[in-house]
Amino acid sequence: MRIKQKIFVYTLLGCLLTAGRLPAQEEQGKYQDYFKVHAKADTTQIRIGEPVKIELSAKVMLYALKGANIKVVFPNLPDSLNHLEIVNRTPLDTAGSDAQQKLFKQVVTVTSFDSGRWEMPPMKFEVFSVTDGSYDSVFTEPIYIDVNTVAVDTTKAFKPIKPLRSVTLNMLDYWPYLLGAVLLIALIVLYFVFWHKRKPALRPIVQGPRKSPYEIAMRQLEQLGKEKPWNTDVKLYYTQLTDIIRQYFEQQFHIAALEQTTAELLHNIKPVTVLNQQRDKLQSILTLADLAKFAKLQPSPLEHEECLQKAIALVAWTKPAVAAATEPQPNSTNPSTKHES
């Protein structure tokens, strides 16, 4: 009887443990059916030093993930791995995307200087959900590359080393360098003879009225929108954008924003009512900036513009508070007010 009871207890515990694992496994792999990755090499047979182009692609099925804000992170490959050297990486290309699916492509060029059969290990792709913070990872299949040496005909005898050849010095071979040196010396002499003596007097610098933190921040944001640095360096753009916002908070509201993390800054703006009212907008800007700077996320051009507009609206929202601080208090002594009363 006791044996039957033990069997029943162990069976019940096994069912409970299995039921606890199923939701975690389902959560971990819930994107794998809608997120496909692929790695394809243009050749697997090369000679030493020849390039191999490996095309990395990731496809997200948008029609199956309606309303989800999905971000894709490509593999972070080192400069060298397993006798293979990374020569070049192209930027991410989203050509071919439409309303049903989003396609990302990148070409990685590798080479090898060691003969043999080398493996490009499985590469890890990650997909993030900005909506709920969940993520998943998918790996590609390994790629094997055969690196061959140059064939040598051993039937022929070795040729002797050729002797050194003496080359006669010809001044005509160096005439561009001589001409450049003469022109440089002539320019230096002319500068000291004419322009250096006619040095203009320094004009006094007229300092204008000091600009407020609001005016400085708005001018910097407008300049950032004109330059559009996200076209060349996404990480630099989000660094400049968050620095402008943090510097404005520090100067206007006396919050040590430059030395605080995102979580600390969001916590410390609670006493400032005018900022706490825009907490959701500030959190979305800082969260996307952290993903772009530290997780190597590649936001879309539309998201770059939206972040800039949110920052402008956030700074503009505080303008009435700045103006109200400079207005006289109601209990101040004002002759015209007393006359009206």
Q: How far apart are CA 43 and CA 326, in angstroms?
A: 71
Q: By C-alpha distance, which of 73, 106, 98, 28 is closest to 297?
A: 73
295 located within any domain: yes
Q: What is the pLDDT of residues 128-155, one digit of tens each?
A: 877 777 778 889 999 999 999 887 777 8
Q: Is 320 domain-assigned? A: yes
Nearest to 296 by CA among 71, 133, 109: 71
Question: Mean pLDDT over residues 45-71, rounded?
Answer: 83
Q: For 100-111, what is each residue's pLDDT tens digit?
A: 788 899 999 999
Task: State yes or no: pLDDT of 46 exceeds 70.
Answer: yes
What is the residue range of 226's domain? 213-324
Mean pLDDT of 88-107: 86
Position 51 pLDDT exceeds 90: yes
Question: Is the same domain home to 130 and 39?
Answer: yes
Residue closest to 308 by CA, chosen among 231, 235, 228: 228
In-domain check, residue 103: yes
What's the pLDDT at 117? 94
Residue 2 has pLDDT above 80, yes or no: no
Q: Is 11 inside a domain boundary? A: no
- In this structure, the answer to whether residues 53 and 129 fall within a common structural domain is yes
* One domain for residues 139 and 229: no
- The number of domains in the chain is 2
Q: Is residue 243 part of a domain?
A: yes
Q: How far apart are CA 39 and CA 122, in angstroms?
A: 9
Alpha-carbon radius of gyration of the chain: 33
Residues 226 and 128 in one domain: no
* Domain termination site, one of 148, 176, 191: 148
Which helix (H) or strand (E) segment is 4 a member of? helix 2-28
Domain of 53, CATH number, reads 2.60.40.740
Assess if residue 296 is contained within a domain.
Answer: yes
Domain final residue pick, 132, 148, 164: 148
Burial class (CB in 10 A: 0-12, 13-18, 19+), 235: middle
Boundary of a domain, candidates 100, 131, 148 = 148
Give the pLDDT band of residue 16 (cuts 50, 70, 90).
very low
The answer to whether residue 123 sits within a structural domain is yes
Whether residue 106 is contained in a domain is answered as yes
The per-residue pLDDT for range 295-317, each reduced to its tens digit, is 888 888 888 888 888 888 888 88
Question: What is the share, in percent, of the chain residues with pLDDT greater than 70?
Answer: 78
